[in-house]
Amino acid sequence: MNSAYHSVLTIAGSDSGGCAGIQADIKSISANGAFAASVITATTAQNTRGVFDIHAIPVSHIRKQLIVVLEDIEFGAIKIGMLHSAEVIEMVKKTLREYPVKNIVLDPVMVATSGDRLLNKAALNSLKSFLSDAYLITPNIPEAEILIDKKIDFNNIVDAAKEIGNTFKTSVLLKGGHLEGSDQMTDTLFVYEIQKTVFVHNKRIQTKNTHGTGCTLSSAIAAQLSLGLHLEEAVKKACSYLNKTIVQGKDRILGMGNGPVEHFPK
C-alpha cells in the first residue's frame, strides 16, 4: 500500500548561517515527522552575529515557486515567515487564495532582535490585511504590541490575545518569552472559533542559543497540524518540542554569537 507524505510548505527567507528562516523551518518540520517543501522569498548574508545583507527574490519568481508546488503537492499546512515588502505580501495573499490551502500558520515577523522594526507602514498594513487568512498567527510581545498599539504585560496578556484574535479574526499564540520576572515561560493560545484561552507553560531556560526559535515553533505547529492534530494539541506538542530543543542546545557552540536550538533533540 502506498501512503502519502504529510507535507508542509514553508514560505520564508533563507538564513546562510542555518539557524533561522527556511533552514530552521525545514529542520523543525522534519523533526516533527512531516515533509518540508519551500518557497524562498529572499536570501540573506547571515551568521550567528547578525544579518549583513539581504537579497530580495523577484516577486515574479516567488509567485512561480508558489504556483508550481501548489499545483503538484497537497499540503496539510502552510507556514509563513517574514515577507519583507507590501508587494510580496500582496502577491502571496493573492496566490494562496487561488488554491484550496488550509492551516496557514503565520509568524508575523516585524521586529528585529535589536528592537528595530523590519516592515515599513505599507508592508505592515498589507500584513494586517493578510492575518485573517491565517488559521493561527504566532506573534511575540513586541509584534503583538504593534498589532494592537498598546503595551502588554502579565496583567493584560489574556485580553491582548483575545483582542488580536477578534480584531483579525484568527487564532493567536501570543508568545511570552519577552516577559521577564518569572522562572516559568507562559504562552497564551486564543482559539478564535470557540473563543477559548489556553495557557502553555514551560520552564524558562537561560541561554543565548535562541536564534530561530520563532521559526522553529511556528514550523513545528504547522507540522503537527499536517499530521492531523487539532490546534490546541498541535500547539502544546510544538511548544514541548521547542522547549526540548532549547534545553539540549543551551550549552552547544556554533559560531561566535547567538547559536541555534538543537532541532533534533534526543
Q: What is the number of domains present in the chain? A: 1
Task: Provide the phi-psi class of 149: left if phi over 0, else alpha when psi is between -120 and 50, else beta.
Answer: left
Of the listed 41, 138, 213, 216, which one is catalytic?
Answer: 213
150 found inside a domain? yes
Short-list 238, 265, 27, 250, CA closest to 138: 238
124 found inside a domain? yes
120 found inside a domain? yes
Q: 252 and 209 in contact (C-beta within 8 Å)?
A: yes
Report pLDDT for 119: 80
Of the listed 215, 239, 249, 259, which one is catalytic?
Answer: 215
CATH number, domain with residue 94? 3.40.1190.20
User: From CA 193, how far away is CA 14, in angstroms rounded?
Assistant: 33
Report pLDDT for 178: 64
Of the listed 21, 79, 138, 175, which one is catalytic?
Answer: 175
213 is catalytic: yes
Q: State the residue for C-alpha cell 493561527.
A: 136
257 found inside a domain? no
Beta bridge partners, 188, equal 174, 199
Burial 98-117 (b: 16+ CB within 10 A, else e): eeebebbbbbbbbbeeeeee
265 found inside a domain? no
Of the listed 95, 210, 216, 245, which one is catalytic?
Answer: 210
Report pLDDT for 183: 77
CB count in 10 Å sphere of residue 12: 27
18 is catalytic: no
261 found inside a domain? no
User: From CA 23, how far away is CA 151, in angstroms rounded?
Assistant: 32
210 is catalytic: yes
Q: Which amino acid is at 183?
A: D
Residues lower than pLDDT 50 in the chain: none
Q: 113 and 43 in contact (C-beta within 8 Å)?
A: no
239 is catalytic: no
Report pLDDT for 113: 58
User: From CA 187, how far away is CA 190, in angstroms rounded?
Assistant: 10
User: From CA 46, how far away is CA 78, in angstroms rounded?
Assistant: 24
Domain hosting 231: range is 7-249
H or E element at residue 53: strand 50-56
50 is catalytic: no
Of the listed 176, 212, 249, 259, which one is catalytic?
Answer: 212
41 is catalytic: no
173 found inside a domain? yes
128 found inside a domain? yes
Of the listed 165, 214, 249, 259, which one is catalytic?
Answer: 214
User: From CA 203, how far away is CA 65, in angstroms rounded?
Assistant: 39
Report pLDDT for 190: 98
Report pLDDT for 158: 96
